[in-house]
A and B are shown apart, each in its own frame.
Chain A
C-alpha cells in the first residue's frame, strides 16, 4: 500500500545545532508508528516540521503524495494533520466543549455543526462528563485527553501524539493506550512520540528510534528492544555488549 506520510531526507538545524539529520521514513495508512529516542533526539523537532510549525532546511514531507513541508501549520491542518503538544496548550479561557469546537471549526462553518461534532468527539474521548468545565480546571490526564479530542475534532488523516502518555499514573496511561487504540480503530493513522518504552512498544506496529537527530534504527518492537545501538543510546556502552 502507498504510504500516507513520507519523510524524505529531512534535515533541520537551529542556530547551528542539528536537530534532525537526513531523516527518511514512511507511515503506512492505518498503522500506529512509534517515534522513540532519548531526550534531545529530535522527536519534537520532527513533529514541528511535520505539523508545519517549522520548515525543514533540506528534504520534504509528503502527505498522500502531495508536498506539505513549508506550507505552514494552517495548510497542514487543512490537509489532514492534527497534533497534540508535549506541554499541554489548552485554550484556558474556554470550556472543554469550546476547546473542542475550535478543532471542529477547522472543517465546519456552522456553530451548530461544530457543536455536534465536538459533542461526539468528547463522548469518544471520555470527556463528555467534563464538557462544561473550564479547560484550566482539568486534571493533567484530562488535559491530555482534551488535546486528543481537539485534534480529532479537526477530522484528521494522521494524528501526531507528542508524549501523550508521559507523566501519567499507570491506570491513566492504560486508559490513554485504550484511547489510542480506539482512535486507530476509527481509521486514523497515528504517529506517536514517547520515551517510555514499556508503554509504547505493545501499542505500535513499528517504531523508529532517533538518536542525536538521526534515525538509529527502524523495526518491530521486538527487533527494537534487542538492537544493540538502541540499548547503547538509552543505557550507555556498558550494557550494549550483551
Chain B
C-alpha cells in the first residue's frame, strides 16, 4: 500500500541512510581533538534529546528531570565496571534496565498529574535524587567516581587520546535512538501516544489506555537516556552528581528537541547541531567569567524559536502547509 504515510516513512529512512554516510566521514578531515570532542558532544545531546522526545514529544509528557536517568545509567554501568569489571557493553544494558525501571517508578505517582504539574514533579524527583547521590558515600558521594583506565580497548570503551572511536560509539547511540523513535512513530504505540498528547479524552474514547501508554513511553525514554549515561561515563572517565545528575543537565537534554522541533524525528539532531557548538563557543570565548552567558543564549534562542517558528527549526525544511509533525 502506498500513501502519504508510507511514502514519508520511506523518505525518512533514505534521509537517515544518507545522513549516516555523511556522519561517518564527517570527522575524518578534522584532526584536532577539540573539534572531534565537539562533534561527540553534539551527537550525545542529539541522542539524549531524541530519547527525551519519545516521552516529551511523541507522548506529550514534558520531563524536566531526565538527568536522573542519565546519571543513574552512568552510575550503574560505572560501578559495575569499577567493582566487578563488567565491560561497559554489558553495563549499558544494565543501565538501560535500571533507568527504565526507575522511569516507571517515577511515572507511577507522577503520571497522575498532568501538564505543568507533571513537569514540576519530574524536577522535584530529580533534585531529590541529586541530593541523595551527593550524600551517598558508599557510591562516592560528592567526590564522585573515577573510572580506572584498563588500557586502550574497544571491549572497555577506553581510548587513551583517540577521539574517533568515541565519535562512532556516539553515532551508534544516536542511530539507536533514532531507529527507536522511527519504529515507534510507525507503530500502534506511536499512534496511541500521539493521541494521548493531542487529546486525552478523545484518545480513551477510542480505547487508548492512557496511563500504560505514558508508562511505556517513559520506560523507553528513560532506558535510552540511561545508555547515554553509561557511554558518557567511559568517555569522560569521571562522574559525580554535579556533572551527570543536575538540574541544568536536565534542561540541556530537553533543549535540542524543543529548539529543533518537539515530537519531530529530525528536531533533536538539528537542535543539538545548533545548540551544542554555540554552547562550546560561548564558553571558549567568554571563559569561566561568562559561565552564565550560555544560559542567556539558550533563553534567547528559545524565545526566538517560540516566536518565529513554534514548530521548531525542523519546520524550515518542511514544505509549506504540511502540518504533520513527523
Chain B's nearest CB lies how many Å from the CB of A94? 6
Query: Assuming the A-B contacts A91-B194, A131-B3, are A106 and B206 also in contact, with contact meaning beta carbons closer than 8 angstroms in the complex?
Result: yes
Q: Would you call A121 an interface residue if the criterion is a C-beta within 8 Å of the partner chain's C-beta atoms?
A: no
A82: B residues at CB distance < 8 A? 205-206
Cα distance, A85 to B199, chains bound together (Å)? 12
Cα distance, A73 to B209, chains bound together (Å)? 9
B203: A residues at CB distance < 8 A? 91, 102
Which of B4, B202, B209, B263 neighbours the largest number of chain A CB atoms within 10 Å of its CB? B202
Cα distance, A101 to B190, chains bound together (Å)? 11
Chain B's nearest CB lies how many Å from the CB of A165? 20
Cα distance, A131 to B5, chains bound together (Å)? 10
Q: Mark A45-56, 1 if CB is under 8 A from B, else 0.
A: 000000101000
The A contact surface, by secondary structure, is mixed
Are the CB atoms of B204 and A119 closer together than 8 Å?
no
Q: Would you call A132 an interface residue if the criterion is a C-beta within 8 Å of the partner chain's C-beta atoms?
A: yes
Name 10 interchain pairs, CB-CB below 8 A, sorted by A.
Answer: A53-B204, A73-B201, A74-B204, A78-B207, A91-B198, A97-B5, A101-B191, A105-B207, A111-B186, A151-B205
What interface size band does chain A fall in?
35 or more
Cα distance, A180 to B34, chains bound together (Å)? 67
Query: Assuming the A-B contacts A92-B198, A114-B188, are A51 and B323 also in contact, with contact meaning beta carbons closer than 8 angstroms in the complex?
Result: no
| Cβ-neighbour of A94 out of B1, B205, B209, B324 (below 8 A) | B324
Q: Mark A1-23, 1 if CB is under 8 A from B, else 0.
A: 00000000000000000000000
Are the CB atoms of B3 and A119 closer together than 8 Å?
yes
Chain A's nearest CB lies how many Å from the CB of B141? 44
Query: Assuming the A-B contacts A95-B324, A98-B191, A111-B187, are A53 and B205 also in contact, with contact meaning beta carbons closer than 8 angstroms in the complex?
Result: yes
Q: Would you call A93 an interface residue if the criterion is a C-beta within 8 Å of the partner chain's C-beta atoms?
A: yes
Are the CB atoms of A150 and B324 closer together than 8 Å?
no
A134: B residues at CB distance < 8 A? 322-324
Q: Mark B198-225, 1 if CB is under 8 A from A, else 0.
A: 1101111111110000000000000000
A-B Cβ contacts below 8 A, count: 107
Chain B's nearest CB lies how many Å from the CB of A202? 28
B191: A residues at CB distance < 8 A? 98, 101-102, 105, 114
B322: A residues at CB distance < 8 A? 134
B204: A residues at CB distance < 8 A? 53, 72-74, 77
Cα distance, A134 to B187, chains bound together (Å)? 19
Which of A73, A108, A115 neighbours the largest number of chain B CB atoms within 10 Å of its CB? A73
Q: Would you call A136 an interface residue if the criterion is a C-beta within 8 Å of the partner chain's C-beta atoms?
A: yes
16 other A-B residue contacts (CB within 8 Å) besides A74-B204, A108-B188, A154-B206: A73-B204, A77-B205, A85-B201, A91-B194, A91-B199, A92-B198, A93-B197, A93-B324, A94-B324, A97-B4, A106-B206, A112-B1, A114-B191, A115-B5, A150-B206, A151-B205
Are the CB atoms of B201 and A93 closer together than 8 Å?
no
B187: A residues at CB distance < 8 A? 111
B199: A residues at CB distance < 8 A? 89-91
Which of A53, A72, A92, A105 neighbours the largest number of chain B CB atoms within 10 Å of its CB? A105
Q: Would you call A83 an interface residue if the criterion is a C-beta within 8 Å of the partner chain's C-beta atoms?
A: yes
B324: A residues at CB distance < 8 A? 93-95, 98, 134
Are the CB atoms of A137 and B4 closer together than 8 Å?
no
Which 5 pairs show the lowest CB-CB distances between chains A and B?
A134-B323, A77-B207, A89-B202, A91-B198, A106-B207
| Cβ-neighbour of A89 out of B186, B201, B207, B323 (below 8 A) | B201
Cα distance, A74 to B325, chains bound together (Å)? 26
B206: A residues at CB distance < 8 A? 77, 82, 102-103, 105-106, 150-151, 154
Are the CB atoms of B1 and A115 closer together than 8 Å?
yes
**B211, closest chain A residue (CB):** A74
Cα distance, A116 to B6, chains bound together (Å)? 12
A89: B residues at CB distance < 8 A? 199, 201-202
